[in-house]
Structure 1
């Protein structure tokens, strides 16, 4: 996960990079919804950005 940026109230966008067994990579942009929980955050939703 990289390039995490704020995307409004309680959300961030993030770039996810997957490496396949053959060494090839795939990159996806995700919009991740967050919910405050104690001293941190929990993922409340995840989908394409």
Structure 2
């Protein structure tokens, strides 16, 4: 999710499409939160690991 967020954010900035920038930023933040929760060992959505 982090990689997809970065890709959409970059495409949105380079092409000038604000909706891609917004979606990319949201995915980046959500991916970072899930990554941090998973790294601390906290179960997210009933699962300890997302592979």
Structures share fold, TM-score greater than 0.5:
no
- By relative contact order (CA 8 Å, sep 6+), the higher-ranking structure is 2
Report the TM-score when normalising by structure 1.
0.25
- Choose between structure 1 and 2: higher helix proportion: 2
